[in-house]
Amino acid sequence: MKSKPYWMRVIEALTLIFAIIAVLSPFAAILLPRLLQPLSTSRQSEIAVSNAWVRPIDVPASSSDMEGMSMNDAVTAAYMTIENRGGVADTLISVSTDIATTVELHQTQIDASGIARMRPQPEGIEIPANSIVKIEPVSYHIMLTGLTQSLERGESIVLNLSFASGTTMDISAVIADFAPEQ
């Protein structure tokens, strides 16, 4: 039996490649825009996070060797602007990050004698429908305790946010002494 000529095999191979591309292209059309979406936006809940920043802190290298004792003295705070573009309220319920053992949502309140105190917000921070909540030094902060590394100005860290709606997102927070320019 005579084998197929070389040119026919080439055409068959090309046909197969084009068929695979044709089958996969609708998936690419669906997946590519999702991959290209900015890190800080989420389709499902219409929550958008911007201006995230975290205060720098120096964690001595030796302290992390001491079984978490003095390591947990290292404390800093993160801030950000959260916009809810949807018609349903949502709540930021928790934040986590690789670089801190504990992350808590706190509110800053000035008491009768003018002293600023922090109050944990175990229920989370509500982001009402169609509104912007600023987690900023005078209102709320995200408290990071037990840092495992120093935070150097100009670098950034990743924070994972979880909302009551089930939305989770990774956002990048720049390490700085002040909020970034809007």
- Regarding 75 and contact with Cu ion (CB under 5 A), the answer is no
**Residues 141, 135 contacting (CB under 8 angstroms):** yes
Rounded to a whole number of angstroms, the minimum distance from the CB of residue 143 to Cu ion is 4
How far apart, in whole angstroms, are the C-alpha atoms of residue 65 and residue 137?
31
Applying CB under 5 A, among 106, 124, 126, 133 the residue interacting with Cu ion is 106
**Residues 64, 148 contacting (CB under 8 angstroms):** yes
Pick from 99, 110, 73: nearest CA to 158: 99
Q: How many of the chain's residues bind Cu ion (CB under 5 A)?
A: 3
Rounded to a whole number of angstroms, the minimum distance from the CB of residue 142 to Cu ion is 8
Rounded to a whole number of angstroms, the minimum distance from the CB of residue 99 to Cu ion is 17
**Residues 42, 84 contacting (CB under 8 angstroms):** no
Applying CB under 5 A, among 89, 93, 118, 164 the residue interacting with Cu ion is 118
- Regarding 143 and contact with Cu ion (CB under 5 A), the answer is yes
- Regarding 134 and contact with Cu ion (CB under 5 A), the answer is no
Give strand pairing partners of 134.
81
Residues contributing to the site for Cu ion (CB under 5 A):
106, 118, 143
